[in-house]
Structure 1
Amino acid sequence: MCQGFFRYVSVVVLAFLAPIAAKAEAVSFDTGWKHQKFSLFSRNSYGYEGRNLSIGSDGSVSLIYKPLPETAWGSQSAAWSWAVERSVPATDLRLKGGDDRNIALYAVFLPRAEAERLRGAKISTLLGNEAVRVLVYVWGGSHRRGAQLDSPYLGARGKTVVLRGAGTGAHSERVDLAADYARAFGGTAEALVGLAVSADSDDTASRIAARLSDLQVK
């Protein structure tokens, strides 16, 4: 009788918790993404196709950014698929001015109070903020998978997390934002305010043809 009672209680508790469990939030590739060029002659191209983002780079570098709604600020993980048809050579991602990569996905975090104050701010403003913390998930470079490197541009405010070395192929990824944040910066992330995507081929004067699909946070 006791066992049956506890099984009943377990079922009731699970039924109660199911509606409040965190749900994945899809991040669409649409006009909400803003293109941040780093020079007048930037030639990166991004094709917005709903679930899919096509990426082209020809000896250039630029970045696109999308702020996330407040409902996604507490996200603890992210998932996506990506593919590279044409790759830059392997580079040292720790080297400023020599760190070409096929795709970089930026997860941009702020303390809650700063997130509210800077709601809707441009990516250039956010990256210049002393309180910002950025995890940069990268396909490129010559480093082992899982390596966490100092950012040559953001200093202590950013970490590069290597997921794939330079080369072609197609893969699906799932990352633990909370664990990676704690490892990189210590403490707990308060607000995931936005995501950015970049392609970088200017240092090696090479070309990139790639795609990122089915991006979601949870």
Structure 2
Amino acid sequence: MIRECRLLAAASLIVAMVGPASGEPISFDGSWKEQGFLRLWSNQYSFQGQHLEVTSDDTVSLIWRAVEPSLGEASKARWGWKVRNGVVATDLTQKGGDDRNLAIYFIFVDAETANGLTKKSARRLLRNPNTRALVYVWGGQHSPDSFLPSPYHPRLVTRVLRASGSGEYHEDVDLEADFRTAFGEEKNTLVGIGISADSDDTDGLIQASIKNLELVTSE
């Protein structure tokens, strides 16, 4: 019994010393490209290394970057985000009127086609029939942890992390588990990340930020 207790204590010490799996930082730099929606209106983005400032004043757009192949098997993601001013709660399942403060897109394709895809355009990538997208959202009128089908894309599913409102939070998401819940299959290869703010339908103003975005490939 004493020996077992010592082994458990030693194991606990090792876990405490090692700590959680380290993440790979995703820098907010010149590798991100802005893409508009429909009327091609533009948000304002300020890239500050590990920090991104976003202003959306009756506008909508998305910034996008490809993910390095070494991060294609990332199983988790984490980040901090803050909303100082946000839009009103909307129905995210309805096309038009579905504004939200912030959304982070994780784009996946099957391993066989990952290398042959053109990753410079998020719109072109989403048109590929093998593409799946998980979108983590702060906004809307839905309960946190709701999984919602996109009204715009048949292979895009939204998970609501925060309902509409302001504040500051840290998020830690399990890409594998959420992909399984959203699509009923095992996670494919991660090839890109997108971030958007959407205020055009409600004539709103969003002032928000994201910091310390990381991908974790193993625990």
User: What's the CA shift string for 1:147-191, capped at 9, x where partnerless?
Assistant: 000111112x11110000111100000000000000111221121
The structure-2 alpha-carbon separation of the partners of 1:95 and 1:40, relative to structure 1 and needing over 3 Å to count, comes to closer
The structure-2 alpha-carbon separation of the partners of 1:120 and 1:150, relative to structure 1 and needing over 3 Å to count, comes to closer
Q: By how many angstroms is 1:98 displaced? A: 1.4
Give the structure 1 partner of residue 67 of structure 2.
68
Give the structure 1 partner of residue 153 of structure 2.
154
Give the structure 2 partner of residue 206 of structure 1.
204
Give the structure 2 partner of residue 38 of structure 1.
37
Q: Aligned partner of 1:103: which letter?
A: L
Matched, 1:164 2:144: no
The structure-2 alpha-carbon separation of the partners of 1:87 and 1:37, relative to structure 1 and needing over 3 Å to count, comes to same
Q: Distance in 2 between the 1:124 and 1:203 partners?
A: 21
Q: Distance in 1 between the 2:75 and 2:186 partners?
A: 10
Q: Distance in 2 between the 1:120 and 1:129 partners?
A: 11
Q: 1:182 aligns with which of 171, 180, 183?
A: 180
Q: Alignment length, in residue pairs?
A: 206
8 Å contact from structure 2 (residues 65, 193) kept in 1: yes
TM-score scaled to structure 1, two decimals? 0.88
Q: Aligned partner of 1:60: which letter?
A: T
Q: Distance in 2 between the 1:57 and 1:72 partners?
A: 30
Matched, 1:26 2:29: no
Q: Which consecutive residues of structure 1, in runs of 5 or more, have no partner in the other structure?
A: none
TM-score scaled to structure 2, two decimals? 0.88
Q: Aligned partner of 1:191: which letter?
A: T
8 Å contact from structure 2 (residues 119, 191) kept in 1: no
Q: 2:193 aligns with which of 195, 200, 203?
A: 195
Matched, 1:50 2:49: yes
Give the structure 1 partner of residue 84 of structure 2.
85
Give the structure 1 partner of residue 214 of structure 2.
216
Give aligned-pair identity as a percent: 42
Report the 3-state secondary structure (helix = DSSP H, G, I; strand = E; otherwise coil) of the residue aligned with 2:115.
helix
Q: By how many angstroms is 1:70 displaced? A: 0.5
Give the structure 2 partner of residue 109 of structure 1.
108
The runs of at least 4 aligned residues of structure 1 exceeding 4 Å deviation read none
Q: By how many angstroms is 1:121 displaced? A: 3.6
Q: Which consecutive residues of structure 2, in runs of 5 or more, have no partner in the other structure?
A: none
Report the 3-state secondary structure (helix = DSSP H, G, I; strand = E; otherwise coil) of the residue aligned with 1:117.
coil
Q: By how many angstroms is 1:43 displaced? A: 3.1
Task: Tell me how large the CA RMSD over aligned residues is.
Answer: 2.1
